[in-house]
Amino acid sequence: AQKVTQAQTEISVVEKEDVTLDCVYETRDTTYYLFWYKQPPSGELVFLIRRNSFDEQNEISGRYSWNFQKSTSSFNFTITASQVVDSAVYFCALPLIWGLGTSLAVNP
C-alpha cells in the first residue's frame, strides 16, 4: 500500500526563522515521483516541486530546499528565513496519494 505521512499537523514560527516540514512515504514501486504543494489561505493548491526517486540530490529554489533521503523514505522541505507570505498548508504527495498536510503559520 502507498502512504504519505506528515506528522506535523501545525507549526508556528516567527518571521525569519528557518522551518522544516517533514514527509515520510511508503511505496512498493521501485521508481516513483514525489511532490510538494502549497495551499495558501486563498485555497488554491499550487505545485512546488516534483522529485524522481532516481535523483537523490537536494534541490534548492530560492528560500526553499528539499532533502530527499531514499534510505529513510523521507522527503523533507525547508523554508529558510520564513516570511508571512509562506503561511499556508503544505502537502507532500506520491502520485494521487496525499499526506494530511502541515499548516504553517509565520508570525511577524
Partner 1 sequence: ETGVTQTPRHLVMGMTNKKSLKCEQHLGHNAMYWYKQSAKKPLELMFVYNFKEQTENNSVPSRFSPECPNSSHLFLHLHTLQPEDSALYLCASSQDGGGSTYEQYFGPGTRLTVT
The closest alpha carbon to 86, from 22, 23, 34, 18, belongs to 18
Regarding 7 and contact with partner 1 (CB under 8 A), the answer is no
Contact between residue 1 and residue 94 where contact means Cβ atoms under 8 Å apart: no
- Pick the binder of partner 1 from 21, 23, 25, 35 (CB under 8 A): 35
| CB 106, min distance to partner 1, A | 22
Instruction: Count interface residues toward partner 1 (CB under 8 A).
Output: 21
Rounded CA-CA distance 100/103 in Å is: 10
Rounded CA-CA distance 37/49 in Å is: 7
- Pick the binder of partner 1 from 16, 50, 63, 70 (CB under 8 A): 50
Residues at the interface with partner 1 (CB under 8 A): 4, 32-33, 35, 37, 42-47, 50, 91, 93, 95-101
